[in-house]
Amino acid sequence: MAAGTGLVASELIAGFVSPSLSTMTALGGAVIDAVPPGVKDWAVALFGTADKLALLAGMALVIAAVAAVSGVVELRRRFAGAAIFAVFGIVGLAAVLTRAQVTVSAVVLPVLAAGIAVLVLRRLIGRLTAWEASQQGAAADLPARRGFFQLLGGTAAAVIVGGALATAWRGGAAGVNELRRTLGLPTPRLPAAAIPAGAEIGLDGMEPLVTPNPEFYRIDTALSVPVIDPREWRLRVTGLVDREVEIDFATLLAKPMTERHVTIACVSNEVGGDLIGNARWLGWPVRELLAMAGPKPGADMVLSRSSDGWTAGTPLDVLTDGRDALLAVGMNGEPLPLEHGFPVRMIVPGLYGYVSATKWLTELKVTRFADDVAYWTPRGWSARGPIKISSRIDVPRNGRSAAPGRVAFGGVAWAQHTGIGKVELRVDRGSWQQADLAPGISVDTWYQWQLGIDLQPGQHEVQVRATDLRGAVQIEEHRSVAPDGATGFHTIRVDVNP
């Protein structure tokens, strides 16, 4: 019961924080990877498509047996059984770490499972020893006995109900994960431009030019990640249109696809923050679908809606001005991860995510800013959210000490859909010095830069500012993120010690 409670609790929590990887799926995956091919073939021959169910049942049996032994051991010697649970937690942790989908939240799950299991085990053993003690004493043993069975019964009920919920939820997620894993992405009609030589500077401590999916920041209001079966997915274009249009996933995949690197950013990204990432997106231009529907005169906004009801309001002209605004299905060569909007999301170069990057997309309503408000607008955020020119120092980290002499600075700058023309640094509010700007992948992505500066011993303040390709300079006045994005120069302190 103790082991069951721990596992069921961690599986349920996985449904919310890590739908693509739980303790049990990690263990199962590790077992599948570890068994010799002969055994695998034998299992498939014996159980057919129920092979995964058989594997999970087998794992449950092994865990139950080990847990039963732990219970007996714990009764004899305090914490001996708990130690076995701890070992099991470590095995689970090792399994999670071997998985490709590993995330910080996934790592917590086996630790949580073991922790809860130990707590429940201690309580159950406590009640059991109380009952044992009462049998030896003169007092009636009935209350102590009832106490034990009440806790046992309560735990059993929780395991059964929680287990059923977790199975149903994980079953759905597992099915969709399998569909996602086996989904072949179409070849783009317009492939992404090659990354120019020298675009990636590669100073130690700089972020990669293209952000790997597991490291890509995640921001949304979804308490549990929506799990959408692509076979049931539909996107409807409604509102001020000549004709409503609806397309399904297969139809979308058959469209001529565009592949582009685009850097998306969150309006909640403070100056110097990391709520920004650059990926290679594959999708069909939004304007093509809008053209099929035919927006009526007077419309100036597209209210995109996700399966969980969240909405973003995007200017219609931005979606139709020819930029690579995409109904994206792919991210860095894979179908979108569930957390990043599987099966379809919007990606619009130049706009903050809250006004453009709707994940788990289900509807595009052509409307007017005067008639409709998106999710964040009544909550203190501007209806329109173009990304502000910004730049960041990644190397050295703020507060680091350095040896006197030449210190290598490096970082990123972005002005999506205009492009960066110049990046400058200044030390202790001195004169601006121009950094070496690496070629960008396109004007829709961030650019890396670097500059070596000679520093004398002492404490120094170093600032960065960017200028876009139209000559607009990053705003100096320091302001926080609401209502339409932070401004100010990223400022770091460097201690130079002789």
Ligand X SMILES: Nc1nc2c(c(=O)[nH]1)N[C@H]1C(S)=C(S)[C@@H](COP(=O)(O)O)O[C@H]1N2
For Mo ion, the closer CB: 249 or 310: 310
User: What are residue 254's phi and psi, to 5 degrees?
Assistant: -80, -10
Alpha helix stretches (DSSP H) within 321-366: none
Q: Considering only residues 241-280, where is the footprint of Mo ion by CB under 5 A?
A: 266
The torsion region of residue 458 among left (phi > 0), alpha (psi -120 to 50) and beta comes to: left
CB of 305 to ligand X, least distance (A): 8
The crossing angle, in degrees rounded to 10, of helices 104-136 and 80-98 is: 170
For Mo ion, the closer CB: 10 or 213: 213
For Mo ion, the closer CB: 117 or 312: 312
CB of 90 to Mo ion, least distance (A): 37
453 binds, among Mo ion, ligand X, none (CB under 5 to 8 A by kind): none
CB of 337 to ligand X, least distance (A): 8
CB of 266 to Mo ion, least distance (A): 3
Determine the Cα–Cα distance for residues 103 and 90; give it in Å rounded to an integer.
16
Could you give the count of Cα atoms lying within 13 Å of 184 in the half-sphere of its Cβ? Answer: 3
The DSSP bridge partners found for residue 335 are 330
For Mo ion, the closer CB: 60 or 219: 219
Contact yes or no for 455/428 (Cβ under 8 A) = no
Determine the Cα–Cα distance for residues 296 and 238; give it in Å rounded to an integer.
11
Nearest position to ligand X, beta carbon: 353
CB atoms within 10 A of CB 254: 11
Contact yes or no for 438/199 (Cβ under 8 A) = yes
Q: Considering only residues 338-357, where is the footprint of Mo ion by CB under 5 A?
A: 353-354
284 binds, among Mo ion, ligand X, none (CB under 5 to 8 A by kind): none
Binding residue for Mo ion, selected from 73, 151, 219, 408, defined by CB under 5 A: 219
Contact yes or no for 490/424 (Cβ under 8 A) = no
For ligand X, the closer CB: 221 or 433: 221
Residue indicated by tokens 């607008």 = 377
* Count of residues that bind Mo ion according to CB under 5 A: 4
358 binds, among ligand X, Mo ion, none (CB under 5 to 8 A by kind): ligand X
CB of 311 to ligand X, least distance (A): 8
Question: Shortest CA distance to 390 belongs to which of 215, 266, 217, 281?
Answer: 266
169 binds, among Mo ion, ligand X, none (CB under 5 to 8 A by kind): none
For Mo ion, the closer CB: 266 or 318: 266
359 binds, among ligand X, Mo ion, none (CB under 5 to 8 A by kind): ligand X
Which positions touch ligand X (CB under 6 A)?
A: 216-222, 266, 306, 310, 340, 353-354, 357-360
CB of 290 to ligand X, least distance (A): 19
Contact yes or no for 426/462 (Cβ under 8 A) = yes
For Mo ion, the closer CB: 205 or 309: 309
For ligand X, the closer CB: 359 or 392: 359
Residue 25 neighbours by CB under 8 Å, 6+ apart: 170, 174
CB of 227 to ligand X, least distance (A): 13
CB of 267 to Mo ion, least distance (A): 5
For ligand X, the closer CB: 238 or 491: 238
Tokens representing 418? 């205009």
Alpha helix stretches (DSSP H) within 35-141: 37-47, 51-76, 80-98, 104-136
216 touches Mo ion by CB under 5 A: no
Contact yes or no for 332/279 (Cβ under 8 A) = yes
For Mo ion, the closer CB: 266 or 338: 266
Contact yes or no for 19/227 (Cβ under 8 A) = yes
Rg (CA), the chain: 28
Determine the Cα–Cα distance for residues 395 and 373; give it in Å rounded to an integer.
40
Determine the Cα–Cα distance for residues 364 and 355; give it in Å rounded to an integer.
13
Task: Work out whether the CA dihedral 265, 270, 271, 274 comes out positive or negative.
Answer: negative
The number of residues making up the chain comes to 498
CB of 272 to ligand X, least distance (A): 17
CB of 314 to ligand X, least distance (A): 11
For ligand X, the closer CB: 27 or 348: 348
CB of 222 to ligand X, least distance (A): 6
Which residues of this protein are in contact with Mo ion, per CB under 5 A? 219, 266, 353-354
